[in-house]
Amino acid sequence: MAAMRHGKYRFLAGAILPGLLLYAVFVLSPYAQAFYLSLTDWTGVSGQVTFVGLENYQRLLDDRSFLAALRNNGLMLLVVPLATIALGLLLAALVNFGGRRGSTMLAGIRGAEFYKIAYFFPQLLSLPIIAMLWQFVYHPNEGLLNGFLRAVGLDALARAWLGEPGLALWAVMAVLVWSSVGFYMVLFSAAMESIPRDVLEAAVLDGAGRLATLRRVIVPLLWDNVQVAFVYLGVLALDGFAIVQIMTVGPGGPDGATEVIGLGLYRSAFTYGKFGYAAAMGVALFFLTLAFAAIALRASRRERVELS
C-alpha cells in the first residue's frame, strides 16, 4: 500500500510539475519582470537600468493624461457591461420566449436559430476589422449613419461622431456593445433553454407577463452567467486599447476624449521610450482589473437558486 501511495504521488508530481514550470516561466515571470521594470527608468533600448523606486507611480498621480484615461475607463466600465448584459438578456428572452403566448407556456419566435447566428456574426470578425468598419459608419460625410439620417430627413442629427469630444467616447462604447452583445445573447439563450418549462408555466399561471417573468424568474436562475459576463465585460472595458487605437483621431482624441490606459501605456513605451513608466501603468491597470473582479464577484454574490 505504501509503495502504491508513493507511486501515485510520483505520477501526480510528474503530471503537474511540468505545467507549473511552464506557467511560472511564461506567466508569472513576465509579471515579475513588469513589476520590477515599473520601479526603474528603463528606456527599452539601452542595457542600463536605474532603480527609481515608486517615482513612476508618483508621476501617475500627477499625469493629466493618465487621470483622463482613468476617468474614461471608469465610464466604460459602468456603461459597457450593463448595456451589453441588458441587451443580451432582452434579445435572448425575445428569441426564446417572444413568440405567441399559449395558455400555459411561453414559446420562442420563428427562425430563432437564424437570429442567433445573425447576432453572433460580429464574433467572427476581429476587433481591428470591426473598428475599421465602424470608422466608415461614423464618417461625417460618407458614413452610413449620417447617410441614413440625411435620407430620412434628420439632417440636423448628423454629426462628426468621432470628432466631437462629447460624442467620441460614446461612439466607441456603442461599438464595443455591438461587437459583444451577440456572444452574450447566445450564452444567455443557451442558459434559458436549460430552465425547466414547468417553472415558466407556473409563472404564466400566476399571471406574470414576459418582463416580470424575465426579471423575477429567469434572471435569478441565470445569475451565475450574468455575474461571469459582468466580470469579462468589465475587463474588456478596462482595456479598450485596440478599438481606440484604430477608430479615433490622434489616437485618443479629440482632445483626449477617448484616451484609455492601454493607449497611454503603448504611447509611453513605443513612442516616448519610457518603458519603466509604461510598466507602472501596466501594473496599475493589473491591480485595477484584479480589484474590479474581486469587488464585482463579492458584491454580486447571491444564494444559488436550486431547482428540484
Q: Considering Cα of 70, then 71, then 74, then 75, what sign does the dihedral take?
A: negative
Q: Give CATH superfamily name and number for 54-299.
A: MetI-like (1.10.3720.10)
Residue 89 binned pLDDT confidence (cut-offs 50, 70, 90): very high
102 Rama class: left (phi>0) / alpha (psi -120 to 50) / beta: beta
CB atoms within 10 A of CB 193: 11
Q: Is the pLDDT of residue 79 over 60?
A: yes
Q: 125-143, pLDDT tens digit by residue?
A: 888 999 999 999 999 888 8
Q: Which of 50-59, 106-115, 191-200, 232-241 is the least confident region?
A: 106-115
pTM above 0.75, yes or no: yes
Q: 15-30, pLDDT tens digit by residue?
A: 888 888 998 888 889 8
Mean pLDDT of the chain: 87
Strands (E) across 149-301 are located at: none
H/E stretch holding 111: none
- Res 103: pLDDT: 46
